[in-house]
Each structure stands twice: as structure tokens, then as C-alpha cells.
Amino acid sequence: MRNLPKPALPYAQLIRLDKPVGTWLLLWPSSWGIVTAAYMTGAPIGHTAWILSLFGVGALVMRGAGCIVNDLWDRNLDKKVERTAMRPIASGAVSPKQAVIYLGSQLLIGLAILLALPWNCFLLGASSLAFVATYPLFKRFTYYPQLMLAFTYNWGAMLGFPAMDIIDVPTMATLYASGICWTMVYDTIYAHQDKRDDVQAGIKSTALAWHKHTKPIMTGFTVAQVSLLTATGVLSGLGPAYFTGVGWAAYRLGRMIMCVNLDQPSDCWKWFVDNVKTGGVILAGIFLDYVLKITGLL
């Protein structure tokens, strides 16, 4: 951000370039799917790396597009919340028209990436745009906008399989569902940052719906996530490194739920960001098993 020219800064802030945690959280489920599919098919590591790189750029671009859509819908609500009041559209640094033009450029890059993938990815990938476009509306009439975000953010867990030329519905479904459970936990922690302002602004979230029951409910979602990740490993035939990674991730998630202070915004942010490492732990387990398999050591 420090190296960008001053006129570009509001646009970089608009796509949250200064806060890459959202890009990582979008990328991890996709990476899980890609490498799991590579393990199942014994794909060459060069091809796997190429698909991972496409999804990496795609995560950056589509996360940015989602942020623009969110800020366009929420430009009046953002002014009422201290943490979001200085976002570029809400503060007037970027006009809605400029944001729409910028959104178009992001979507064109996303389309180019989608066209670089196998054709059986196109409909599945394009269908995620419906979630991206409508997610911000849900906080206006339901206390569960986190569920819509979970559907959106984990779509790549399924898309990674056809990108690697394999369709395995049970494995795709369990991996996708595990990501949904994960997002329900970390985005609820995120929502607790703003719960006081959200009440005044009329914004709904699971943080307000679950209130004092947040930690027990998050524990239930984490148990479900770990169970679904275990089922994914069994269905795909993954090896010991994967299950070790899942166990390590379970420990990290349990520690997060136990330690996070849901009434302290800075502590919520700290533990929300910590999920980047947890997603990486899961990927590390899958990747190690994949490398062991293609080198004949597993």
C-alpha cells in the first residue's frame, strides 16, 4: 500500500488490499479441493501448481469484487458503524459510478480466469456470482447473513475438483460443508466486533442472534467441521499427514473458541485473522500426502 500512487489508494482500500485475510480465507477451501483432487488423480505437480495459481489470482480478484458489491449495497449503513465509516464509498473517496466501473474490470479478470479452466467449471463457477451479488442484502432481513457468506466463500471447495478433471460428489459435498461450518464460526467472531453499532444501525448477524450462546454454538459447528473434514479424508483416501493436519486444526479452533473475548473488538479481530493459519494447516496436511503419493512414498 505504501508503494502505490496516491490516486490508487482508495481503489486498493475498496478491494481490501490492505487486509488480505479475506483473500486467504477465500483461497483455502479452493486449495483444499484442488490438492485433494490432485491426490485422488495423481496429477503432475506442475499442473496442480498451475491450477492453484489461477485460483490464487481468482481469489484476489473475486474477493475484491465481492467487497465492491458489499460496499455499494452498504454505503449508507457503513456510515453508521465506526469500523466501516471511512470505507472509500461511504466516505466519498470513490463514487458509486467509479466503483461500478472498477467492479466491471474485476469481473472481466475473473471471467478470463474462469475461461482458462476446463469447460465443466464454467457453470459451477459462474453460478457463484448470484451469492456474491446478494450476500450483502441478507443482513437487512435475517440474523444469518453469515450463512450466505459461508455458501459463497466455500464455493471453490467444489470448483477445485472439476478444475482438476474429476467429479466426486460425496467428497466435494463433505469438503464444501466443512468449509461452511468453518465460516459460520470465524465470521461470527468477526461480527462480534460491530455488535454495538449494528444494533443502532439495524444490521443483523449471528453475533446478535446467538448472543450469550455464541461459544457453545460455535463449538457445535467446529465439531461438525472436524467430522466433515474427517469424512472427506476417508472418502478421498487421504493419508496420515492429512488427518494429523485436521487434528492440529481442531486444536487451534478449540483454543480460539475458548480464548476469544467476544466483547473486545481487537481480540475478535486477532482471532479472526488467526484462521488464516488454521486453513493453511489443513492444506499442509493434504499437500504432504499428495507429494508422498506422487513420489511413491505413500
Cα angle 225, 177, 265; round to 5: 60
How many Å apart are CA 234 and CA 100, to the nearest integer? 44
Instruction: Count CA within 13 A, CB hemisphere, residue 175.
Output: 34
Cα angle 70, 76, 80; round to 5: 105
> Residue 116: its pLDDT value, please?
93
Residue-averaged pLDDT of the chain: 94
Band of pLDDT at residue 119, cut at 50, 70 and 90: confident
Comparing C-alpha atoms, which of 7, 20, 15 is closest to residue 56? 20
Would you put residue 263 in left (φ > 0), alpha (ψ -120 to 50) or beta?
alpha
16-44: per-residue pLDDT in tens?
999 999 999 999 999 999 999 999 999 99
Comparing C-alpha atoms, which of 298, 291, 297 is closest to residue 43? 291
> Residue 198: its pLDDT value, please?
85
Q: Is 17 helix (H, G, I), strand (E, B) or coil?
A: coil
How many Å apart are CA 247 and CA 243, to the nearest integer? 6
Which residues have a Cβ under 8 Å from the Cβ of 93 and sit 6 or more positions away?
A: 10, 13
The grid coordinates listed for 55 are 485460483
> Residue 286: its pLDDT value, please?
98
> Residue 76: its pLDDT value, please?
87
> Residue 210: its pLDDT value, please?
96
> Residue 220: its pLDDT value, please?
98
128-176: per-residue pLDDT in tens?
888 887 888 888 889 999 999 999 999 999 999 999 999 999 999 999 9
> Residue 128: its pLDDT value, please?
84
How many Å apart are CA 259 and CA 225, to the nearest integer? 19
55-98: per-residue pLDDT in tens?
999 999 999 999 999 899 888 888 888 888 889 999 999 999 99
Q: How is domain 6-294 classified at the CATH fold level?
A: Tetracycline Repressor; domain 2 (1.10.357)
pLDDT at 298 over 80: no
> Residue 134: its pLDDT value, please?
83
- Going along the chain, which residue ranges are E strands? none
Q: How many CB atoms lie within 10 A of CB 136?
A: 19
Would you put residue 296 in left (φ > 0), alpha (ψ -120 to 50) or beta?
left
185-212: per-residue pLDDT in tens?
999 999 999 998 888 888 899 999 999 9
121-130: average pLDDT: 87
Which pTM value belongs to this model? 0.94
The grid coordinates listed for 127 are 453460478
